[in-house]
Amino acid sequence: MTEYGSRDPDALVRRAGKRADTRQDQHFLVDDRVLDRIPTYAEEMDLSHVLEIGGGPGALTDRLLAVADRVTVVERDPDFAAHLRQEFADAIATDRLTVVEGDALDVELPEFTASISNLPYGASSEIAFRLLPEGKPLVLMFQQEFAERMVAEPATDDYGRLSVTAGHYAEAEIVETVPKQAFDPQPRVTSALVRTTPREPDYSVPSDEFFLTFLKAVFTQRRKTMRNAVRNTAHISGLSDPDAVVDAAEEGLMSARAGKLTPADFAGLATLAYEVGEPDDDD
């Protein structure tokens, strides 16, 4: 039986026959200690089918095969996809590994029970918000600045649209900060692993699509009061009558800035906007 979980990252890069292309946002995690720890953050998760985005030379894929029943890895680079098929041919032959060649933002994702991935930083936001609505637990590598904004609490410097949006789908926590020296080639920034646990929010919204659009709108003017933010961003939120929203909302909320409001505050305002602001019927 093939053993997994101890392949040398540098040897995998050599066998792949090509170096990372930083123009394609490729930075390979090569620190064995970090690689070995990543699966431990998922010990409470259902690992019957793990989705990995961006397999690269396969160092994390190797660790995932050691703990998961099945792994599907999505790899955009055709050379690395071919390498993964060759390196892990035994796992493919026994239906434990599937390699999907293509962009994670475009391909049809399989049914999965958890995703554990070292994401390409340039697309990390888009990929994360494709995965979060699936309602599955995640362990994802991000730039530290992005991770800190993702987990930020209201009224803190890092709190913003990203914090509210992530929290709409899951509880998010930073489980490890990863130095740039853990990667080859080294990125210019420190990284962080974020673990998310799906949960229902403690508020209701008229629709996820409208709620997220409303957040996008008002946070474009986070330095303005909510009164001005609602009025000035109707072209983004799709509201036909933003003044009706301002007139119907509590004065305390309209006088505050977006960074001071809680997710429940935003949910209440989005519901009010949906009811009285005459939004476009696009969602």
| Cβ–Cβ under 8 Å, residues 73 and 97 | yes
Q: Dig out the tokens for 12 from the structure.
A: 């995998």
Angstrom CA distances, 278 to 79, 133, 243, 281, stand at 51, 26, 11, 9
| Integer Cα distance of 128 and 229 in angstroms | 27
Q: Is 27 marked as binding a ligand?
A: yes
| Integer Cα distance of 209 and 194 in angstroms | 24
- 162-221 pLDDT tens trace: 999 999 999 999 999 999 999 999 999 999 999 999 999 999 999 999 999 999 999 999
Domains, the chain:
9-198 (3.40.50.150), 208-276 (1.10.8)
Q: Is 228 marked as binding a ligand?
A: no
| Integer Cα distance of 21 and 210 in angstroms | 38
Give mean pLDDT, residues 151-155: 95
| Cβ–Cβ under 8 Å, residues 39 and 66 | yes
* CA-CA-CA-CA dihedral for 38, 101, 47, 34, to nearest 10: -10
The pTM for the full model equals 0.92
Q: Is 145 marked as binding a ligand?
A: no
| Integer Cα distance of 251 and 246 in angstroms | 8
Q: Is 278 marked as binding a ligand?
A: no
Q: Is 103 marked as binding a ligand?
A: yes
pLDDT tier, 281 (very low <50, low <70, confident <90, very high otherwise)? low
Backbone torsions φ then ψ of 89, nearest 5 degrees: -60, -35
Q: Is 54 marked as binding a ligand?
A: yes
| Cβ–Cβ under 8 Å, residues 226 and 218 | yes
Q: Where are the alpha helices (DSSP H) in the chain?
A: 9-16, 32-37, 59-65, 78-87, 89-93, 124-131, 144-150, 161-169, 208-219, 226-232, 234-237, 242-248, 251-255, 263-276
| Cβ–Cβ under 8 Å, residues 178 and 236 | no
Query: What is the pLDDT at residue 3?
Result: 87
- 27-57 pLDDT tens trace: 899 999 999 999 999 999 999 999 999 999 9
| Integer Cα distance of 247 and 227 in angstroms | 9
